[in-house]
Each structure stands twice: as structure tokens, then as C-alpha cells.
Amino acid sequence: MNLKRPTARGQASLDVMDSYVNWRNETRAVAECYRVWRCASVGERGAAFDQYVAALDREERAAGGYRAVLEQRHGVWGRRRT
């Protein structure tokens, strides 16, 4: 088996894809936690809401990580349009 290391460009693409997939997974987790919270019984709503807020926080961090990778690798959002 002949495995080659990815080129710098290939590694950048992998980093971007990993960050994107992580963000999308966290986005799905937010949707699932929201569904659970919405359907929770009165006695379970507090804990379900806490899980929903935690999922929102994770999604926000993942989105920030994705944005940082894009900025670092591709200069996205680094330039202002005039």
C-alpha cells in the first residue's frame, strides 16, 4: 500500500472539510436538542433547555472554528468589499 501525505493544499482542504463537518454535526445536535426540549414534559423541560443551550454553545464554537479555518486557509472574510 502506497500512502502519500497530503500536500499543503490538500491538508488545507481536509482541515476545511473537518471543520465544516464538525459545525454541521453540532447544528444537527442543536436541532435534536430543540426537538427534545419542545416535546419534554413539564418536569423535564429545565434539563432539556439546559442541554439545548449547551448545544447552542457548542455549535457557536464549531462555527467560529470553521470560520477561523476559512480565514486562515483562504483569506475568506479577511478582506472588506468596497
HEC string of the chain equals CCCCCCCHHHHHHHHHHHHHHHHHHHHHHHHHHHHHHHHCCHHHHHHHHHHHHHHHHHHHHHHHHHHHHHHHHHCCCCCCCC
**Residue 36 scores a pLDDT above 70:** yes
Q: What average pLDDT score do residues 71-78 get? A: 72
Confidence check: pLDDT of 19 > 90: yes
Predicted structure pTM score: 0.76
